[in-house]
Structure 1
C-alpha cells in the first residue's frame, strides 16, 4: 500500500496518474489526501475561490476514474472565464453576484477527459487585469514563500497552490503574463502556448483580441508538455488555429535541444530592471551557455509606451463590452461601486473608444507580431527576466485611488512586468522557468519566448534546464507536505 501523502510530496501529476492506473492508489484516496493538504494551507494562502469536493468525489467513484493520462489527479480551475458546470463564476468581481455556470469551458472538458478531478476553483483578480491576485470579492492570495508578498496575477491562486504542493498542477490562463508572472513569483513552471493552440470556447471567442490563452502552472516540465498533449487543438468554431506539433509534446523532452541562438534582453521600456532581476537573468544566460547555447545581447523592436496604449485600448473596449453584456443579463447597468478601482480607471480612459480605435489597436498588435516574427528569423529564443524586480508586497498593486490616471496605472503595473505582455500580442509561446531565488529567498523566474508554433523547442530547453538546475526540491515555508 502506497503512502499517498508521501507520493504527493514527491510525484508530479504524470507519476501520480501512473500509480492510479496501476491500481496502487484509488482516485478517491488521492482526492481525500489532496483535500487534506488544501485545508492545511488554505487559511494562510487564500488561493481557493470555491471548493467542489462533493462533485469531485462523485467523479472519483465512477467506473472510468482510473483511465486517462491524468487519471485520478485532482486539480483546480481558475475562476476567470473558464466556467465549470455548477460552480460559481465570479471572474474575481462583485459584479457577477451569485452567478453559476450551466456549461463548461472546452479546456475543462478536455481535462476531465484526461482523468482530472476538479476539486475546486482558484482565485483571480477582477477580469484578470492585474499582476497581483487581490480583489474586494475574494481578498488577497498570498505567496507561500512569504505571506506578505503577492503570489502574482492573474493566475495567483493556481501558482500558490502548486508551489505549496497541494496539487502538482493547476489550470490558469494568460492575457498579458498571467501564467508566467505568478509562476515566477511562486517558484514554479509557467508555460503560455501559441495563440490558438488551446481552446478558448465556448464562452470566449478571442479574449482581448486573441492575446489570451489557457494552459496550466506545473511543478514539472513533463506535466506541462503532457497537459498540452491532453488539451491542445482548436475547438468548434475557433477564430485562430496554431499548428500542432507533429509528435506528442512530451517527446520534445526526450533529448536535449540542438545548440540554440538566444537573444538576451535585459531591459525593455523606460523603467529599468532591478539588480536582483539582472542577476537572475544573467545566471540563466550563463547556465544556457554552459549547456552549449549561444547568448547574444539584443534589443527588441518595440516602443513599450505606444504598445501598452494599444493594449489598453483593447482591454478597455473588451471590458466595456463585457459589462454591457452583464447589464443585459442583470436588467440594469453594473454599479461602479461593484468594480475595482483598477477597472474604473481603465473604463474611464478607454471604455469609450470608438470601433475605429479598437480596430486600429488590433492592427497595431498584429503588426507587432510580424515585427517580432522578423526578429525571430535571427534567433531561436528570446531570454529576459520574467519580472523587473522581486515579488511585490501585498497591497502595492491593489489600487485604492481612482484619481490615478491610466498612465500612472500602466507605470505601476508594467514597470513591474514589462516583458511578458509582448508575447501575448505577438502570439508567441513563452515560459517562466524557476532558476533563481533572491537573497531574501524569493523566486525570480527566467523568461523565454520562442517562435510562433514552436512549443517543442521551449519545452526541450526547459527540460534541459530542469535537469541541470532542478527546482522541485525547493519547497516554500508554507507548504502541504508531510515531511
Structure 2
C-alpha cells in the first residue's frame, strides 16, 4: 500500500486533474499513491460532508496497478449515484428500492471515463431519483456544503460538487435535467458545464432522455479540466437521435486562443418569484465590468419567453417519463413499488404523471418544443448570454427537502433556478462559473449560455475570466491540504 504523506496531500490538493495526470506521466507520483490519497481524504473529510455514499476503494486500488492510459491516467474520480452503469458495483439512485441492485455492464459513458484513465473510487450522493436542487435523500442523509454546513450544496449532483470543492477528487461525474450540474457548481464554487444537446450519448441503455433535455458531464475546479473532459467523453453512438457540431480542434487546444470580442447579452430580471437577490445582482454587475474590461460588448436583454408558463409543462414531461421508467423497472424486478418506497415529493410526482391524459402529455411536449425554438431564435444575436445561475444565494439545508409532498408548493420554489431548465429544454450549452463570494464565504455562480454546439466559446470566455478571478485558488474551510 502506498504511503500518504502530508507533502503528497498538499500536492494532490493543489493540482487539478490534468496536473495530476502529468505528474503520473512524469513518474513523480504513481496512480496508487493518488488513489490512496483520495481514499485517505474520503476517510478524513467525508464524515463532515457525506458526499461519498458508495465506496469502491479495493476496485480503485486494483485498477491503479495497471499502466496508466488516456489523458487522465491515474486520476481518482467519482461516479454519480444515478444512471451510470458500472459492472459489478451497486447503483441505488438514492432510493432504498434499489439497495440490492448491482450493475451487469458498463454504460458507454463509463467505458469512456475508464478509457480516459480515471480510477473510480466510489459514487457520490444525490437526492432520491435526482429531481431536486438539494441533496438530502432519506436513504443516505444530506450532503453538507464544504463552504458552510448551514447552506445547501445544491443538487442533484451535490455529492459530486462537495467532494470536488473539498478537493477529495479533482473532478467528478455530474448530470443535469434542470440545473443539476450548474446549481451545485454555483453553490460550491465550481465550474459546471451542461453540454449541448447531442454532445453526450445516452447509450446503450437509452436512446433519448426527456427529449434531449438531460446532459451528463462533470463538475471541475478549473476550466481546462472541463475542456479536456469534453475531449475525452464527447461524441454520439450509432443511432443517437441528436448530433452537435464538433470544432475543428479539440476543446482543450481551443483554450489557447483568447476569445474574439464577443457580443454578450445579459439579464437581471427573475423569470418569476422574488427579484434577483442583491448579492447575486452585485456579482453580475461586477462580472459585466470585468467583461467590458476584457474587451467584450455587453447589453441588457430580458427574455421574452415566458418561462413560468413553460415550467409546469416541463415537469409534466419529466414526471411521465419517470413514471414510465418505474413501470419498466418494477416489471423487470417482479416486485411492486409503492408510496412507502418514496419520499413524499417523488410519490406526488408519480401520481401526477398517472393523472395526465395522452393529449395533455402531447400538449406539454409541444409547449416545451415551442419554447426551445423561441429561446434559440431570441438568443441567436448573442455570442454568449449571461444570467444568474441561481437568483438567490444558496438556501439553508432543508429548504429543498423532498419530504414536502405538496408538489405545486415545492416546484414553485424552483423560481431560484428558473434560468436552469430553460437551457435543458432548449439544448443550448450552459456553463456556471464561480463569479463571486458573498461575504467571503458564500459562492455565487453566474451562467454563460452559448449557441448550440458552441461550447468552445463558453470555455474560452470562462478561461479568460478564470485567469483574472483565479477562482481555482479558493479553498473552503472543509478541504484537503
Assess same fold via TM > 0.5: yes
Q: Equivalences for 1:380-399 in 2 at 5 Å? A: 380-399=383-402
Does residue 355 (structure 1) correspond to residue 358 (structure 2)? The answer is yes
Taking the aligned partners of 1:180 and 1:4, their CA distance within structure 2 comes to 31
Distance 2:336 2:359 in 1: 25
CA contact (8 A) 1:75 1:120 kept: yes
Measured after TM superposition, the shift of residue 123 of structure 1 is: 0.8
Task: Give 1:303 deviation, angstroms.
Answer: 1.1
**Which stretch of structure 1 is more off in the superposition, 453-462 or 25-34?**
25-34
Which ranges of structure 1 fall in alignment gaps of 5 or more residues? none
CA contact (8 A) 2:136 2:402 kept: no
1:401 Cα offset (Å)? 3.8
Per mean C-alpha deviation after superposition, the further-off stretch among 320-329 and 152-161 is: 320-329
292-301 or 166-175: which moved more?
292-301
Aligned to 1:322: 325
Deviations 1:420-471 (A, max 9, x none): 1100000000011011011261001011110000000000001000001101
Query: Equivalents in 1 of 2:358, 2:234: separation in Å?
Result: 32
Please say if residues 312 and 350 of structure 1, whose CA atoms lie closer than 8 Å, have aligned partners that are also in contact.
Answer: no
Partner residue of 2:372 out of 365, 369, 374: 369
1:29 and 2:25 correspond: no
Deviations 1:54-82 (A, max 9, x none): 111111112x3x22100100100001111
1:5 CA displacement: 1.6
What does 1:198-347 correspond to in 2, within 5 Å?
198-271=200-273, 272-347=275-350
SS across alignment from 1:142: coil
Secondary structure at 1:150 match in 2: coil
Tell me which residue corresponds to 2:128: 126
RMSD: 1.5
Instruction: Using structure 2 for the length normalisation, give the TM-score.
Output: 0.96
Check the 8 A contact 1:81/1:203 in 2, yes or no: no
**Residue aligning to 1:50:** 54
Runs of 4+ in 1 over 3 A off after TM superposition: none
Query: What do residues 205-256 of structure 1 show as CA deviations (whole Å, max 9, x unaligned)?
Result: 2222211011110011000000000000002432222112221001221121
> What's 1:400 paired with?
403
| Matched pairs, number | 476
Q: Which moved more, 1:436-445 or 1:183-192?
A: 436-445
**Post-superposition CA distance 1:30-65 (Å, at most 9, x none):** 110111111111001001120011111111112x3x
Q: Secondary structure at the match of 1:446?
A: strand
Classify the secondary structure of the residue corresponding to 2:126. coil
Instruction: For residue 350 of structure 1, report the CA deviation from its aligned partner.
Output: 2.9
Moved more, 190-199 or 205-214: 205-214
Matched, 1:457 2:436: no
Q: How far 1:381 moved relative to its partner? A: 1.1
Q: 1:446 to 1:401 in 2, by over 3 A?
A: closer
- State which drifts further: 3-12 or 443-452: 3-12
- Residues 9, 480 of structure 2: 8 Å contact kept: no
What TM-score does the superposition give when structure 1 sets the normalisation length? 0.96
**Aligned residue number for residue 412 of structure 2:** 411
Specify whether residues 401 and 420 from structure 1 end up closer, same or farther in structure 2 by C-alpha distance, changes over 3 A only: closer
Q: Which of 17, 28, 31 matches 2:21? A: 17
Verify the 8 A CA contact 2:132 2:402 in the aligned structure 1: no
Aligned-residue offset at 1:316: 1.0
Provide the C-alpha distance between the structure 1 equivalents of 2:375 and 2:305, rounded to a whole number of angstroms. Answer: 9
Q: What is the distance in 2 between the residues matched to 1:436 and 1:355?
A: 45
Q: Deviations over 1:179-207 (max 9, x none)?
A: 00000000011011001101222223222
